[in-house]
Structures are given as C-alpha cells and as structure tokens.
Amino acid sequence: MTLDVARIRKDFPILERKVYGKPLVYLDNAATSQKPRQVIDELVRYYENYNANIHRAVHCLGEEATAAYEEARAKVAAFINAPSPECVIFTRNTTEAINLVAYTWGRANVREGDEILLTQMEHHSNLIPWQRLAAEKGATVRYIELTDTQTLALDGLENLFEARTRIMAMPHVSNSMGTINPVGKIAPEARRNGTAFLVDGAQGAPHLPVDVQAIGCDFYAFSSHKMLGPTGIGVLYARKELLEEMEPFLGGGEMIRRVDFEGATWNDLPWKFEAGTPNIADAIGFGAAIDYLNDLGMENVRQHEIEITEYVLNRLGEFDDITLYGPPDPRDRGGVVSFNLGDLHPHDIGTVLDRHGVAIRAGHHCTQPLMRTLGVSGTARASFYVYNTLEEVDVLVEALEAAREFFKR
Amino acid sequence: MSLREEYASQESELDELYRDIILDHYRNPRHRGSLASPTTTHEGLNPLCGDEVTVELLVDGDRIADVAYKGSGCSISQSSASMMTEAIDGKPLEEVKRLSADFTAMMRGEETIDPESLGDLEALSGVRKFPVRVKCATLAWHTLEEALEEAGL
C-alpha cells in the first residue's frame, strides 16, 4: 500500500472503539470523515489558550486568534493552489458556498430565458439552489445525461453549451457513484462560451490533488468535515474578479468598511463575504487537517484510494447478484463504491452490516433524481479514506455474505 | 457479557427485527396494488430514506370495505404496509383509528400498550431496538391517518 495505514490509524482515536462488540469498520467517509488527534488537539489548544474574537481586538489573544484564522485561510489557498488567500471565503459548508454563488452572482447575472446547466448526478446541494434561482428568474435548467457506467454523456464538448447558458455547475466527484468528472476539460469550453463554471468539490478536495487554476473553474466549493477537519466550516473559492463584482451574501459586522445611517460600503476581500463572527475554532482546526493531508501528500491519498477501490470492486464482483454503479476502472473514480445486492433493500443491508460493526450508507445519498434515473430507490454505499485497510474490505464482504444468508432463511 | 454472548445477542436482536412474519409479508405482500375506485388515495414519503407507500381506501359507511397499498422501500416499511392492510380490511373506522393509535404508541415504546393485544402487528415491536428504523414501520400507518384526515373521516 502507498500509505502507511497502520501508522495513520494510530492518529485516529475513534478507530479504537467497538460497535456492538465488534471493531468499528468506518466506511461512510463520503458523508463525513473521522478526525485525527492533531485536529482534535488543535481545537483544544485554541479554546484553552487563545480563544478570542478576531480582526478588531487590540489584545494579545485577539491577535493570536486572528493570525491563526488567517493562517488557516492561507493553508486552504495553498492546498487548492488559489492565486491568493483573498479568493478563499470561509462558509459553513459546501452547501452554503454554493448558495452564496446562487444568491449573489446568480441573482445578478441569470435572467429570464437564460439556461443553467447541471448534470443528472447532482447532490441536492448543487441542485436546489439552482432550481430556486431558475424559478425566481424564469430561467431553465438542463441536465447532462449519464452513460451506462454513470459517467457524463459528453459527445462533443463544443455542443455542450447553448448561447444562453449562463452558468454550469457539476460535482468534481459524484458522491453517489464515485465518478470523476473531466472538469479541467469542460472549464475552457465554458469560458469560451461565456458560461460561468462552478465545481462542487465536496468529494473532490478531500480525495484528489486539486489545482483550481489548472482546472480553470470560476468557483470551487468544499467542506472541511469530509477531509479530516471539523464540521461547520467550508470554503468557497472564486476568481477575484468575480468576487469583486459580486454583492455580499449576508450583511452584518465584519463585512463592512464604513457604516452610516444612510448606508454602508463593503470590506475588502475575503471579509466582504464573512458577515458576523466566523467559525474561528473550526477554521483553525481545518488548517490542522490540511497540514495532516499535506504530510500524507494528496498524490499518495489518491493512489491509496485507487488501490483500495480496485480491491473493493474485485471483492464485490465475487457476488454474482451484485449491481455495481459507476465507472469500472478505479482510476476513473474516487473511493466511493455504490451497489445493490440481489433483491435486498439497501437499508436492510445497512442494518445487518451495522451489527457487524460496519458503517455504510444506504439510501438516495441526497441524489433523488439520480436514483430515479438509475431506476432504484437507493443504493448501499461504502466510501473509503486514508485510514481504511484491505482487511476492512474483507470484513465488509463477510458482513455482506452474512446479510445475504440472513435474508435467505 | 462474554464476546460470544454479545455476538449471540446481536444476532437475536436482528432476528427480533426481521421476524419471519415480517419477511413473509415482504416476500408475499397482501393487498398490494390499486383499487378500482377508491374513496381516498394518499401518498406517504419518508424523505430521509426515500421509502414510499401509497394507501388506497374504499370506505363504505363507517367501515373500511377494501384497502390496497403500493410503494417501494425496505422490508420493514413494505411489510408493515402489508400487515396494516390485513389488520384494517373490513374493520369499522373507529377500530381502525384505535388500532393506528395503539400501533404508533407501541412503536414509541409507550408502556400503556400491551403489544400482544395487537395481534400479528406485535411482530414489529422488535423494530424499537433500532431507532432509525422505527419511521420505516410507522410510514404506512401515518399515511393511513393522513388519508382518513384528508377524506374528512
């Protein structure tokens, strides 16, 4: 294996716990990842040593907290190769980042008769904000269809866009099927067409090396909690020119420059988009998570997931009545494996697996239209990260065999 | 408890959840389909997991003259719907409402209800040990209650 998983596992206290008397096999990483000691310690260090509100304090704690918060932003910027930390807006999560774009950029730029282009594999978080915007503006929403192996049916990128396609948004990696989308190929075509391009990176940034400048997207959104960091902190990357022309999302303290009874002017980037006291502690904790991932190396993280996904696909392929979704080649997908087994419902599989200590997700994965496209009510989904082992895959397979036996009776 | 005993207890809890009668209803659903001319039709949806149950009722005076359901979802949600149709078919509305109240009370774990008084429906009491699955078992009954309410019954 590329990563020293045995050493990595020692950093994650939760992996020592038992579930129903059995070792925890945590395979729900696409929902949220576990946290290493380094991140947990950083949160404690902040609250025990320099907890203070940021930016306007004239005291020592405030200065330390401000420096740590802004250092976390710089780490995020470097992690995705953003041209500058000004382009990194801290949000609550991916969902809030996408909503920010839909509300500010979207309201100012999408007009009646315009088109919003999405894919059939959208998470609800990259679907509902656009549907609402379209309804408000009288715009239409079009969806790129899928091939038999749940990749985007892109025959001829030049025909992808209509003249009035104002924005296209798509996931970097499908949370339901693991499909990696060719965002770097699509971005230049979008630019040529004058179409803004947003990448939902919730499943991208945690698992792939991401270079937003190389991709060439206008917006890239992701969440800390899926990449070893705390919940409640997420990121919107956007090109500086766009951020400068966009109106603020939320109004309040921090985002202003000068306030009069008659009106106000806005703060510089990125604070123009960060009204109110931000999630200081979790941003700093997120910085520690990024340090951890950088130590592992994102190329190595990616390689580890290819290795484990290849093994999972092979082992699950041993079941003659299994349906696997997504591209067959592990290099074309992230560490997400969705499946259905015989006539077992995913929830029933999930419940039996849970009693074996195996945590997976079962259901529609917040992609209801996609599930209808696939003709299923849901799937069982195992998703992997840096601390997962091949032995855990074997436990998953044993538990699936047990589930099948159990329901045969 | 030894590890072996603990494993055995996990297995028996699973057996309690998936009692034979539940799996029988899942594989051989009763009253599954549609009625020719229902008095009322109501669709129930569990947005968390996507389980769907549509209940159709033919009400004749103050009793359920016929009932059907269709839907998709896990074995608990679909077998509970099937068991419900058997329990309410031909019954007076008053009794159906009481049964519905008693069933949901049982699933909430209220001790005033003697599960044995609910006949076959008692088989679903094992679901209580799996809190996230309780909503699967109650979906059909909540849909029934909404159907009756919508029809002003």
pLDDT digits (tens, 9 = 90+) for A54-102: 998 899 999 999 999 999 999 999 999 999 999 999 999 999 999 999 9
Domain holding A221, by residue range, is: 40-294
| A:B CB pairs within 8 Å | 53
Q: What is the pLDDT of residue B2?
A: 60
Same domain, A65 and A120: yes
Average pLDDT (B26-47) is 95
| Confidence bin at B12 (pLDDT 50/70/90) | confident
Cβ neighbors of A22 (< 8 A, separation 6 or more) are A356, A357, B7
Same domain, A45 and A19: no
What residues form DSSP beta bridges with A337? Answer: A382
For residue A299 the two structure tokens come to 């190329």
Question: Does B3 lie at the interface with A, CB-CB under 8 angstroms?
Answer: yes
Q: Flag whether pLDDT at B9 surpasses 90.
A: no
Determine what percent of chain A is predicted with pLDDT higher than 90: 97
What residues form DSSP beta bridges with B70? Answer: B54
Question: Does B18 lie at the interface with A, CB-CB under 8 angstroms?
Answer: yes
DSSP structural state of residue B72? E
Cβ neighbors of A391 (< 8 A, separation 6 or more) are none
| Confidence bin at A323 (pLDDT 50/70/90) | very high
What CATH number does residue B117 fall under?
A: 3.90.1010.10
Q: What is the pLDDT of residue B117?
A: 87
Average pLDDT (A20-27) is 96
For residue A283 the two structure tokens come to 């941003």
What CATH number does residue A404 fall under?
A: 3.90.1150.10
Contact call for A355 and B51, based on CB within 8 A:
no
**Strand, helix or coil for residue B153:** coil
Residue type, A4: D
The partner residue sitting opposite A351, judged by closest CB among B3, B50, B133, is B133
Average pLDDT (A244-258) is 94
Q: How far apart are the first and last CA of chain A?
A: 39
Q: Flag whether pLDDT at B3 surpasses 60.
A: no
The partner residue sitting opposite B50, judged by closest CB among A22, A363, A406, is A363
Question: Does A357 lie at the interface with B, CB-CB under 8 angstroms?
Answer: no
Question: Does B17 lie at the interface with A, CB-CB under 8 angstroms?
Answer: yes
Using N-to-C axis directions, what is the helix angle for B93-107 and B134-150, rounded to 10°?
150
Q: What is the pLDDT of residue B7?
A: 58
CA distance A393 to A396: 5
Closest-CA residue of A relative to B10 is A355
State the catalytic residues of A: 366
Q: What is the pLDDT of residue B10?
A: 67
CA distance A175 to B22: 33
Q: Flag whether pLDDT at B6 surpasses 90.
A: no
Chain A residues whose CB is inside 8 A of the B4 CB are none
A281, A43 Cβ separation under 8 angstroms: yes
Which conformational region is residue A156 in: left (phi greater than 0), alpha (psi within -120 to 50 degrees), or beta?
left
Number of domains in chain B: 1
Same domain, A290 and A305: no
Q: What is the largest CA-CA distance in chain A?
A: 74
Closest-CA residue of B relative to A407 is B23
Q: Give just the sign of the alpha carbon dihedral A110, A112, A115, A116.
A: positive
Question: Does B45 lie at the interface with A, CB-CB under 8 angstroms?
Answer: no
pLDDT 10s digits, A371-407: 999 999 899 999 999 999 999 999 999 999 999 999 9
Contact call for A348 and B74, based on CB within 8 A:
yes
| Confidence bin at A227 (pLDDT 50/70/90) | very high
Same domain, A114 and A187: yes
Whole-Å CA distances, B74 to A362, A382, B135: 10, 18, 11
pLDDT 10s digits, B61-81: 999 999 999 999 999 999 999
Number of domains in chain A: 2
**Structural domain ending residue among the three candidates A294, A321, A339:** A294
**Structural domain ending residue among the three candidates A260, A294, A328:** A294
**Structural domain ending residue among the three candidates A267, A294, A321:** A294
Average pLDDT (A39-63) is 96
The partner residue sitting opposite A364, judged by closest CB among B20, B50, B76, is B50
Q: Flag whether pLDDT at A345 surpasses 80.
A: yes
Same domain, A234 and A314: no
Closest-CA residue of B relative to A345 is B74
Contact call for B73 and A345, based on CB within 8 A:
yes
Question: Does B72 lie at the interface with A, CB-CB under 8 angstroms?
Answer: yes
Which conformational region is residue A275 in: left (phi greater than 0), alpha (psi within -120 to 50 degrees), or beta?
beta
Same domain, A303 and A332: yes
- Residue B10 Cα, gap to closest chain A Cα (Å): 6
Same domain, A226 and A362: no
Q: Which long-range contacts (CB under 8 A, 24 or more apart) does B2-11 make?
A: B3/A21, B6/A20, B6/A21, B7/A21, B7/A22, B10/A20, B10/A21, B10/A355, B11/A355
CA distance A235 to B34: 49
Domain holding B37, by residue range, is: 3-150
Lowest mean pLDDT among A130-139, A374-383, B42-51: B42-51
**Strand, helix or coil for residue B66:** strand
Q: What is the mean pLDDT of chain A?
A: 96
Q: What is the pLDDT of residue B112?
A: 87
For residue B146 the two structure tokens come to 């909404």
B32, B68 Cβ separation under 8 angstroms: yes
For residue A189 the two structure tokens come to 């075509």
CA distance B72 to B50: 8
Closest-CA residue of B relative to A348 is B74
CA distance A93 to A286: 12
Contact call for B49 and A409, based on CB within 8 A:
no
pLDDT 10s digits, A148-193: 999 999 987 878 999 999 999 999 999 999 999 999 999 999 999 9
